[in-house]
Every structure is written in structure tokens, then in C-alpha cells.
């Protein structure tokens, strides 16, 4: 889908977009979070080992959601039968180190660092690492074509699972 010709937002505006994204996830407003995605948007969490950019159809990821699966993941997490997140965990996301890595007429590449704390059943786990975004402009608004979350936790041994969208 071609992006329109609007000028790209500056760094503070991009950072604000990422803070807003984090706030929607903290507030469990997942359909609103999903609305930040372009219709062809992917959500990827590569394995903690191996090449984080390996083709999804040739390597085992932790999450490799195409647009259909992003939508299904959001639907799942909003249901009471998403048992891993019931009762819903309390989460807090800290976003920093926001950088614009590059832009051309179609796409802007942005990365941020994150720390997400998740508390459930009296246990607090921390997830941290780097989000890498491919952003596009659709009708003048920033939208996510790809969000790739590189966990820098070594493995998921301490946390056990990734039942939330970090």
C-alpha cells in the first residue's frame, strides 16, 4: 500500500506515538492498540537465540503474527477465556532511547528500548529489550507496518511465557 505524500513527523512526535502505544497496552485497550497497525501490519517476536531477522517461514520465532494473527491475538486476549491473562495482569511499560533510524518515501524505521513489568498472581516478571518499527503514513497518520520485538532477556526462563504483548 503506497504511503501518501505527507511529511514525516519529527522525533518528539514519533516518541509520543510510541508512548501512546505503550499506554494503550498498559490499559488493556487492545483493539485501540490494533488500530495503530496498518492493514498489512505484522507483529514479530524472534526467538531469543539465533538470527532475529531470519525469515519467519524458515526459522522458529516466539511470535510471528501476520495481519490475520495480530487480529486474532487481540481477539483472544480480550476474551475471558484467555486464561494465561485472567485475571488480567497489571503491566507497566517504560519506553526510551527512541531513535529514527531512517526514512524514505514509503517507510520510516524507528527503534525504542522498553522495560515491561508484568504482575500476576503476586509474581512480577520483567521483559526488556528493543522494539523495531517499520512505520508508514496512512491518511496522514502514523501506522505500524511491522513491530519486531527483540527480547534481550537471554531466554524466557525467568518469565516462563510471553502471554502479553510486550
Instruction: Please tell me whether residue 56 binds other proteins under the rule CB under 8 A.
Output: yes
Stretch that binds other proteins, among 5-13, 21-29, 128-136, 150-158 (CB under 8 A): 150-158
Least CB distance from residue 145 to other proteins, whole Å?
19
Q: Cα dihedral sign for 29, 11, 67, 105?
A: positive
Out of 14, 64, 70, 74, which residue is the one contacting other proteins (CB under 8 A)?
Answer: 64
Binding to other proteins, residues 104-143 (CB under 8 A): 121, 123
Residue (47 or 111) nearer to other proteins, CB? 47
Instruction: Please tell me whether residue 87 binds other proteins under the rule CB under 8 A.
Output: no
Q: Tell me if residue 2 falls in helix, strand or coil.
A: coil
Q: Report DSSP letters for 72-133, one per residue.
A: HHHHHHTSTT-GGGSSPPEEEEEEEEEEEEEE-SS-EEEEEEEEEEEEETTEEEEEEEEEEE
Give the separation between CA 16 and CA 43, rounded to whole angstroms.
20
- Are 144 and 134 in contact by the 8 Å Cβ rule? The answer is yes
Cα 158 to chain centroid, rounded: 21
Stretch that binds other proteins, among 11-19, 65-73, 97-105, 133-141 (CB under 8 A): 65-73
What is the number of alpha carbons within 13 Å of residue 118 lying toward its C-beta? 24
Out of 91, 112, 116, 159, which residue is the one contacting other proteins (CB under 8 A)?
Answer: 159
Out of 2, 83, 102, 139, which residue is the one contacting other proteins (CB under 8 A)?
Answer: 83
Least CB distance from residue 143 to other proteins, whole Å?
23
Query: Of 164, 70, 80, 96, which is closest to residue 125 (Cα–Cα)?
Result: 164
Residues that bind other proteins (CB under 8 A): 45, 47-50, 54, 56-64, 68-69, 72-73, 75-76, 79, 81-84, 121, 123, 155-163
Amino acid at each position: 500500500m503506497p504511503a501518501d505524500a505527507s511529511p514525516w513527523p519529527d522525533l518528539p512526535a514519533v516518541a509520543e506515538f510510541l508512548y501512546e502505544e505503550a499506554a494503550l497496552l498498559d490499559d488493556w485497550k487492545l483493539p485501540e492498540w490494533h488500530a495503530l497497525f496498518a492493514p498489512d501490519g505484522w507483529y514479530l517476536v524472534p526467538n531469543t537465540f539465533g538470527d532475529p531477522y531470519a525469515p519467519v517461514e524458515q526459522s522458529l520465532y516466539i511470535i510471528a503474527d501476520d495481519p490475520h494473527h495480530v487480529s486474532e491475538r487481540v481477539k483472544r486476549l480480550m476474551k475471558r477465556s484467555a486464561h494465561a491473562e485472567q485475571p488480567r495482569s497489571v503491566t507497566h511499560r517504560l519506553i526510551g532511547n527512541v531513535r529514527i533510524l531512517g526514512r524514505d518515501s514509503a517507510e520510516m524505521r524507528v527503534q525504542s528500548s522498553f522495560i515491561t513489568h508484568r504482575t500476576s498472581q503476586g509474581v512480577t516478571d520483567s521483559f526488556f529489550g528493543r522494539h523495531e518499527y517499520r512505520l508508514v503514513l496512512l491518511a496522514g497518520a502514523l501506522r505500524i507496518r511491522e513491530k519486531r520485538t527483540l527480547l534481550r532477556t537471554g531466554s524466557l526462563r525467568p518469565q516462563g511465557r510471553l502471554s502479553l504483548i510486550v
